[in-house]
Structure 1
């Protein structure tokens, strides 16, 4: 039952990293748009 907890934690971390990557990508996109505009 400890393995299931680890898998859930890894799945949570993976989804969090994916969301962070999307947020960072949007931030960089907006930053460049403002900087060049």
Structure 2
């Protein structure tokens, strides 16, 4: 799941779980699952 999401965004190395939660606010459920 996380790999697929990051892969769609592109640069895997630029994304951390924290950055994703802040940048991808529409994935609030995803962020809650990973916090």
Could you tell me the TM-score, scaled by structure 2's length? 0.28
Higher helix proportion, which one?
Answer: 1
TM-score (norm 1): 0.26
